[in-house]
Amino acid sequence: MQSILLGVDRLNAFIGKLFAWCIVILMLAICYEVFRRYVLRDPTTWAYDVSLMLYGTLFMMAGAYTLSRNGHVRGDFLYRKWRPTTQARTDLVLYFLFYFPGILALIYAGWGYFQLSYMLNEHSSFSPDGPVIWPFKAIIPFVGVMMLLQGVVEVVRCLICIRDGDWPQRLHDVEEMEKIILDEAAAKAEQQSRQEATLTAIERDATTRGSL
């Protein structure tokens, strides 16, 4: 069971991280367009469409990866203060009430949306030579399936937490600067005195949400 969970986690992280490199391509593509326009006075016809597609692909494909790292923003001013089992019980109910219906709708509707576009061999309407657009639209149902799988994993995480009384470890990954620093500070504090309650509480405060 554990290995299937980690497998899904890894798969989504792999996809998310793979498409994360879109940011580098996006940066290079736009810099190239800027060069063509301002230096050669000969702008590309594709830059607009391509940058939209890279940006859209980047954030959509990272959706499940972000969920697997608990990175979607929560309104957590109460949630933070709860015991892990209370958090897990609430999450568990809400995954079924909120998450799965929405994601299933995304898969169902996204598939139809993609199919129609595919049937028409639809091209982008932003430029006269607009590239085909159905592969971009295909991302919606695809991401829906990724999110569905990740949702199942998160549900199991909730169950484990309810059983064990604490959240299971997530896969190690690159972290926000403040999380790294706070973790180090927490570790140091733990060394100095035995487990300082306030610090861990504060740390939990500071790390259940995204950090912008």
Q: Is 62 exposed, middle or buried (0-12, 13-18, 19+ CB in 10 A)?
A: buried
How is residue 121 annotated by DSSP?
Answer: T
CA dist., res. 48 & res. 124, Å (int): 10
Name which of 2 and 63 has its Cβ closer to other proteins.
63
Minimum distance of other proteins from residue 166's CB (angstroms): 17
- Provide the minimum distance between the beta carbon of 191 and other proteins in the complex, in angstroms, as a whole number: 12
Within 13 Å, how many C-alpha atoms sit on residue 164's CB side?
10
168 DSSP 8-state letter: P
Decide if residue 115 touches other proteins (CB under 8 A).
Answer: no
**1 or 155: whose CB is closer to other proteins?**
155
Q: How far lies 101's CA from each of 30, 66, 106, 139, in Å?
A: 38, 19, 9, 19
Q: Are 208 and 79 in contact (CB under 8 A)?
A: yes
- The footprint of other proteins on this chain (CB under 8 A) covers a number of residues equal to 103
Nearer to other proteins, 112 or 165 (CB): 112
Q: Whose Cβ is closer to other proteins: residue 169's or residue 192's?
A: 192
Kindly tell me which of 3 and 13 has the beta carbon lying closer to other proteins: 13
Rounded-to-integer distance, Cα 96 and Cα 114, Å: 26
Query: 150-179: which residues touch other proteins (CB under 8 A)?
Result: 173-174, 176-178
- Is residue 139 within 8 Å of residue 61, measured between CB atoms? yes
* From 1-9, 157-165, 190-198, span contacting other proteins (CB under 8 A): 190-198
User: In the bound complex, what is the minimum distance in angstroms from residue 3's beta carbon to other proteins?
Assistant: 23
Q: Calculate the alpha carbon distances from 206 to 66, 75, 145, 189, 201 in Å.
A: 17, 13, 31, 16, 9
Binding mask 84-113 for other proteins (x = CB under 8 A): ---x--xx--x--xxx-xxx-xx-xxx-xx
Q: Does 11 bind other proteins (CB under 8 A)?
A: no
Whichever of 3 and 91 has its CB closer to other proteins, that residue is 91
Which 29-48 positions form the footprint of other proteins (CB under 8 A)? 30-31, 33-34, 37-38, 41-45, 48
